Amino acid sequence: MRKIERFFSQPFSIAKRITGIPGFRVSLKETLRGLREILDGKHGDLAEQAFIMAVTIVGVREKEENLAKGAQAASYIFVSGVRSFGT
């Protein structure tokens, strides 16, 4: 349940001034796909931390890889093949 809550903690454009992280629009289809995969247990091996502000389920996997490498992934976002770094 906590992973779902964290998965829905997405960066919003309006908060960019505060967080320094650009906002993203994610399609409903992509969001539901990620939710379904979480509910089906496909990402049970991933740390909760990887789900925070990851934008998509692909971003969760990418963040997990960075966390495993010990990288500073808190401001790292991966969206549909486009990488963006917060300030």
* Contact (Cβ atoms closer than 8 angstroms) between residue 36 and residue 80: no
Is pLDDT of 74 > 90? no
8-32 pLDDT, tens per residue? Answer: 887 788 888 887 888 888 899 999 9
Q: Structurally, what CATH architecture does the domain formed by 2-85 represent? A: Orthogonal Bundle (1.10)
What integer pLDDT is reported at residue 87 of this predicted model?
41
pTM, entire model: 0.69
